[in-house]
Amino acid sequence: ATVDDFLQRLRRFRTAEWVRLAGRALAHLGSTAQIVREHSELADAVLDACTRVLWRRARAAADFVFAGRAAASGYGFAVLAQGKLGAGELNVSSDVDLQYLCCAPAADGTAMAALCEPLARRLTQALSARDAHGFCYRVDLELRPEGKRGALVNSLAGAEHFYEAYGQSWERLALMRARPVGGARWVSQAFVQAMRPFVYPRSISTTLVDEMAALGRRIHGERRYVPLGDSLDLKRDPGGIRDVELFVQTLQHLQGGRQPSLQTPSTLEALDRLYFLGLLPASRHARLRRAYLLLRSVENAVQVVDERQAHRLPTRPEALAHLAAILGLRDVGQLQRRLV
C-alpha cells in the first residue's frame, strides 16, 4: 500500500472514532474528563502512526545522506504536543499544538535539520488535508521557538538554548503542557526533562512573581469585557476556561520546583494535587473544578454540532435551546443559571 492509501485509511479511522466519541458525549455515557482524555488518546494514536509511516519513508533519504548511520542511536525526529493535547484534555474539535524536534550527532546536525524540514511539512499537510473521509487534525505550530518566524524543525540543543536564553514567562507556562506524542520519544523526553528547571524553578524570586503578575495583566488586558446580552466566550471572557488554567499553571510554576508532584501537564490533575498538598482550600478547589468541567462540557457541546472550533455561546434562541438539549438540561434558563 502507498502512503496515500495509508493516509486515506487514517482519516477514515479518525473520523469514525470521532463520531463514536461524539456519540458517547451526546448520550452522556462518559464524564467530561473521560471524553477529553479519550479525544487526546485518539489524537496521540493518529499522530504517532502518521509520524512513524512518514519517517519510515524518509529513512531511505536519511540512509543515503548519513551512509546508513541514521539507523544508529543519536538520530531522531520527534513530535511534541502542547496546549490541550499536551495536557491530555483535548476538545471535541480543536487545533493540535505541536513542536517538531530533531537530533543527530554534531557532525550531522545541519544535514539532519535539512532532512527533517520536508518531513515536518509533509506531516503537517497530511494531518490537516481533507478528503471524502474528512481530515485528521488542524495543526498549530506557533508555540515553537520564535513562532511563525522560527524554524519549522528545531534541533534538541537549539530548542534548549532558545528557551534558556530568550524564554519568556508565557513560554514557561506553555512548556508546562509539553508531552511526547510521536516519533523518537527519547528526543522529546530529553527536551521536556531539560526544560524542567526553566518551567519549575526551585526558588521563587520577586522578579519571577512580578513576571507572572505582568503576564496575568497582559492576558486580562487583551480580553473583551462582554456587554449584557452579547455572546459569551467560554474560553477568554472573565471567569472562563483560560482564567482557571492561568490560575492553576501559575501555582504550578511557583510551587512545582519544590513540589515535584505538581509537575503534570494536566490542569485537572494539577488542581487536585494543589488541594492534596494543602495549597488550595477545599472550597476553592471544589468551585474551580466544578466550574472548569462545566465550561469544558459546554464548550464541547458547542463544538460537537458541526465539528468546528468555537468557544462562544450562540445568541439565537433556537440555537441556545438546542445547546441546552445536547447538555441534557431542561431549558435555556437552566443553562444560563449554571453559567452564572
Q: Domain holding 294: CATH number?
A: 1.20.120.330
Q: 158 and 275 share a domain?
A: no
Instruction: Name every residue whose Cβ is closer than 8 Å to that of residue 189 and which is 6 or more positions away in sequence.
Output: 180
Q: 20 and 139 share a domain?
A: yes
Handedness of CA 32, 33, 38, 40 (dihedral sign): positive
Confidence band for 157, pLDDT divided at 50, 70 and 90:
very high
pLDDT attached to residue 230:
60
Q: 217 and 319 share a domain?
A: yes
Final residue in a domain of this structure, among 176, 197, 218: 197
Q: 162 and 241 share a domain?
A: no
Q: 216 and 326 share a domain?
A: yes
Looking at per-residue confidence, does 161 or 208 come out higher? Answer: 161
Q: What is the pLDDT of residues 203-258, one digit of tens each?
A: 876 666 676 667 666 655 554 444 434 678 888 888 889 999 999 999 999 999 99
Q: What is the pLDDT of residues 129-155, one digit of tens each?
A: 999 888 999 999 999 999 999 999 999
Q: 25 and 143 share a domain?
A: yes
- What is the CATH classification number for the domain harbouring 21? 3.30.460.10
| Domain enclosing residue 225, as ranges | 206-339
Closest listed residue to residue 40, CA positions, set 78, 87, 7: 87
Strands (DSSP E) found in the chain: 76-82, 96-103, 139-140, 153-155, 179-183
Q: 100 and 72 share a domain?
A: yes
Domain count, the chain: 2
Residue 288 identity (one-letter amino acid): L
Q: 237 and 265 share a domain?
A: yes
Final residue in a domain of this structure, among 157, 180, 197: 197
Final residue in a domain of this structure, among 172, 197, 222: 197
Q: What is the pLDDT of residues 85-96, one digit of tens each?
A: 999 999 988 899
pLDDT attached to residue 94:
85
Q: With a threshold of 0.85, does the pTM exceed it? A: yes
Q: 33 and 78 share a domain?
A: yes
Report how far residue 26's alpha carbon sits from residue 325's, in angstroms, rounded to the nearest whole number. 9
pLDDT attached to residue 228:
39
Report how far residue 92's alpha carbon sits from residue 299's, in angstroms, rounded to the nearest whole number. 8
Query: Does residue 309 have a pLDDT over 50?
Result: yes
Residue 147 grid coordinates: 513562532
Using only C-alpha atoms, what is the Rg of the chain? 21
Report how far residue 338's alpha carbon sits from residue 253's, in angstroms, rounded to the nearest whole number. 31
Query: Does residue 110 have a pLDDT over 70?
Result: yes
Query: Does residue 5 have a pLDDT over 70?
Result: yes
- With 0-12 / 13-18 / 19 or more C-beta atoms within 10 angstroms meaning exposed / middle / buried, residue 280 is buried
Q: 31 and 171 share a domain?
A: yes
Query: Does residue 317 have a pLDDT over 70?
Result: yes
Lowest mean per-residue pLDDT among 154-158, 163-167, 199-203, 225-229: 225-229
Q: How far is CA 242 from CA 9, 41, 48, 66, 162, in A?
A: 35, 22, 28, 45, 26
Q: 224 and 180 share a domain?
A: no
Q: 281 and 176 share a domain?
A: no
